[in-house]
Amino acid sequence: MRKLSVLLAFACLLLLPELALASGGITEFSSPLEKVVNTITGPAGKYISITAMAICGVIFLFNREDISGGFKLLLSAVFGISFIAFAGSMVNTVFSFSGALVA
C-alpha cells in the first residue's frame, strides 16, 4: 500500500510539475559556492592537493611504526580529501577531447 502511494505521488509530480513548487534555484549561495569549487579544483587546488598527498606519503613511509591509530586515521582522511580534490583535474585531463574524431 505504501509503495502504491509513493508511486502515485511520483506520477502526479511527473505529470503536474507545478505541484512540486520548485523554484529556479538558490542564487544567493551559488556564487560563493562556485568560488570555493573553482578554488579547490583549479590550479592552486591541484598543487595543494599534490603537496598534501606527498607530505602524507612521506610521513607514513618514515614513521610507519610510530604512528598511532588516531594520527593514522587523520593522515588517511587528509590523503583521501587531497585525492578527491585532485581526481577532478585528473579526469578532466585524461578524458578531455579537443579536435575532431575521425571514425
Tens of pLDDT, residue by residue over 25-84, are: 566 666 777 787 777 777 777 888 888 888 888 888 888 777 777 888 888 888 888 887
Tell whether 47 is covered by a domain. yes
Give yes or no for residue 8 having a pLDDT over 70.
yes
Contact status, residue 85 vs residue 40, Cβ threshold 8 Å: yes
Give yes or no for residue 85 having a pLDDT over 60.
yes
Contact status, residue 56 vs residue 79, Cβ threshold 8 Å: yes
Domain hosting residue 50, numbered range: 25-94
Number of folded domains that form the chain: 1
95/3: higher pLDDT: 3
Tell whether 89 is covered by a domain. yes
Tell whether 5 is covered by a domain. no
Confidence of residue 7 (pLDDT cuts 50, 70, 90): confident
Burial category of 86 from C-beta neighbours within 10 Å (exposed 0-12, middle 13-18, buried 19 and up): buried
Note the pLDDT of residue 63: 80
Residue labelled with grid coordinates 575532431: 100
Global pTM reads 0.50
Burial category of 13 from C-beta neighbours within 10 Å (exposed 0-12, middle 13-18, buried 19 and up): middle
Q: How many residues does the chain have?
A: 103
Tell whether 19 is covered by a domain. no
